[in-house]
């Protein structure tokens, strides 16, 4: 009798897919599970909690997601579920047949908790409609949005290929030329979206797919993100849902006017990971990673991969500037530089920016240095001064009153 049930297998796949544990941790758990469950049957999920790879609440949430999503996916009218394609931080993606046209599609099923927020549901449909107006070879085509059995779903073009993340999790590093080709295709997708006033908000390796013929497709375009997604990431200790390796500083700060420059940061962080084999900022929990996005100076990519051209390194640094005003203003400007590098010319926009920022700093009489002030701390400092001033003032006031009473 085999120890591992289908259920355990699915749980393992999803735990890794959603970033809760590493492949190695899963393998260790599975080995131990095989041995232990011979004596007495135990669920893989319970064992992984016991081994400290998952928290109880993470395991619980994953189990609930698995149990409920499949049965409701089967209830979506007009589609026949063929199997599971993957899972992310907030959803499960299924391969399905669209019965009317007899074609294969991908269906993303959002967890039930999303439906409980009417504001989110409104945005989900609004952005779904906006995504429906996008038509670009480098964007996964939106097909339909709807609700079935209390679940909201998003039907899209099925992409037969792999994600960049699939390559990176195995420690892969991309050749510069290959990475450039991919990033150029994504930048074209972003340019198209910007023209239609759509921001992606979650550009990352898992949302970039590559087909066998080399065509790159940006996935999840126009899929509204829940703001509490970030809060979830902040709440979770250790291995969090949706670890924020690629998120722009202004998104961490909760800015409401997020624009295309946030996507340029996400693409820059992805580019960085592709050519160096490392995420730009690493720490053992989400909060620390986010702090680094806000404050820590980026290690230039050519310091990690010395074979990288100076041009590519500069472009990545500008894409990942902490202040969005210091980044490329839009994907069109970015493309100008990416294509220049591809053709062996120096990046025009990057050089321009570099010159201007150096001049400004010299004029200010500053040494050229990191100046990513965190306004949170600034605000705290101001409060502190105010409190001290108020304290001093009330102290003096009571002294005066005391003196007046004595006289």
Ligand X SMILES: Nc1ncnc2c1ncn2[C@@H]1O[C@H](COP(=O)(O)OP(=O)(O)O)[C@@H](O)[C@H]1O
Active site residues: 202
Contact region with ligand X (CB under 6 A), list: 85-93, 147-155, 306-314, 330-338: 85-93
Residue 207 lies near Mg ion (rule: CB under 5 A) = yes
Residue 152 lies near ligand X (rule: CB under 6 A) = no
Give the strand pairing for 216-218 and 92-98.
unpaired
Is 13 or 50 the residue whose CB approaches ligand X more closely?
Answer: 13
Of these, 49, 62, 156, 350, which contacts ligand X (CB under 6 A)? 156
Q: How far is the CB of 348 from ligand X (least distance, A)?
A: 33
37 interacts with, out of Mg ion, ligand X, none, CB within 5 to 8 A per kind: none
Site string for ligand X, 32-71 (x = CB under 6 A): ----------------------------------------
Q: How far is the CB of 155 from ligand X (least distance, A)?
A: 9
Residue 314 lies near ligand X (rule: CB under 6 A) = no
Residue 269 lies near ligand X (rule: CB under 6 A) = no
Residue 220 lies near Mg ion (rule: CB under 5 A) = yes
Site string for ligand X, 188-227 (x = CB under 6 A): ------------------xx-----------xx-------
247 interacts with, out of ligand X, Mg ion, none, CB within 5 to 8 A per kind: none
Residue 229 lies near Mg ion (rule: CB under 5 A) = no
- How far is residue 234's CA from residue 208's CA, in Å, rounded to a whole number? 24
Closest CA to 310 of 283, 269, 341: 341
Contact region with ligand X (CB under 6 A), list: 152-160, 177-185, 278-286, 343-351: 152-160
Of these, 76, 143, 155, 159, which contacts ligand X (CB under 6 A)? 159
Residue 165 lies near Mg ion (rule: CB under 5 A) = no
93 interacts with, out of Mg ion, ligand X, none, CB within 5 to 8 A per kind: ligand X
Residue 164 lies near ligand X (rule: CB under 6 A) = no
Residue 141 lies near ligand X (rule: CB under 6 A) = no
Is 88 or 249 the residue whose CB approaches ligand X more closely?
Answer: 88
Closest CA to 342 of 125, 203, 178: 178
Question: What residues line the site for ligand X (CB under 6 A)?
Answer: 85-91, 93, 106, 108, 140, 156-159, 163, 206-207, 219-220
Question: What residues line the site for Mg ion (CB under 5 A)?
Answer: 207, 219-220
């Amino acid at each position: 009798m085999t120890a591992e049930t289908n259920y355990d297998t699915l749980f393992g796949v999803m735990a890794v897919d959603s970033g809760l544990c590493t492949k190695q941790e899963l393998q260790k758990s599975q080995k131990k599970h095989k041995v232990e469950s011979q004596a007495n049957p135990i669920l893989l999920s319970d064992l992984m909690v016991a081994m400290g790879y998952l928290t109880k609440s993470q395991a619980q949430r994953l189990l609930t997601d698995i149990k409920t999503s499949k049965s409701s996916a089967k209830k979506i009218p007009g589609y026949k579920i063929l199997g599971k394609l993957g899972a992310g931080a907030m959803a499960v993606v299924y391969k399905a047949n669209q019965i009317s046209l007899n074609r294969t599609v991908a269906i993303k099923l959002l967890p039930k908790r999303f439906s409980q927020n009417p504001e989110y549901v409104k945005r989900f449909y609004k952005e779904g409609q906006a995504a429906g107006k996008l038509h670009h070879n480098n964007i996964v085509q939106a097909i339909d949005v709807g609700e079935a059995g209390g679940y909201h779903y998003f039907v899209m073009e099925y992409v037969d290929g792999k994600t960049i993340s699939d390559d990176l999790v195995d420690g892969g590093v991309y050749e510069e030329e290959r990475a450039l080709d991919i990033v150029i295709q994504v930048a074209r997708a972003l340019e198209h979206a910007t023209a239609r006033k759509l921001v992606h908000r979650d550009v990352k390796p898992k949302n970039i797919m590559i087909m066998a013929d080399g065509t790159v497709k940006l996935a999840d375009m126009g899929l509204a993100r829940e703001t509490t997604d970030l809060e979830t990431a902040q709440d979770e200790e250790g291995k969090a849902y949706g670890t924020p390796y690629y998120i722009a500083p202004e998104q961490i700060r909760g800015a409401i006017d997020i624009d295309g420059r946030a996507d340029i940061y996400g693409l820059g962080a992805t580019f960085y990971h592709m050519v160096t084999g490392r995420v730009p900022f690493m720490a053992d929990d989400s909060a620390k990673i986010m702090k680094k996005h806000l404050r820590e100076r980026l290690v230039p990519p050519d310091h990690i991969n010395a074979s990288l051209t100076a041009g590519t390194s500069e472009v990545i640094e500008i894409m990942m500037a902490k202040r969005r005003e210091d980044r490329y203003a839009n994907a069109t400007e970015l493309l100008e530089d990416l294509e220049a590098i591809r053709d062996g010319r120096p990046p025009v926009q990057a050089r321009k920016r570099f010159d201007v920022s150096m001049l400004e700093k010299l004029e200010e009489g500053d040494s050229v240095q990191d100046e990513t002030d965190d306004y949170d701390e600034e605000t705290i400092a101001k409060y502190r001064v105010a409190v001290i001033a108020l304290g001093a003032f009330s102290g003096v006031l009571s002294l005066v009153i005391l003196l007046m009473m004595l006289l």
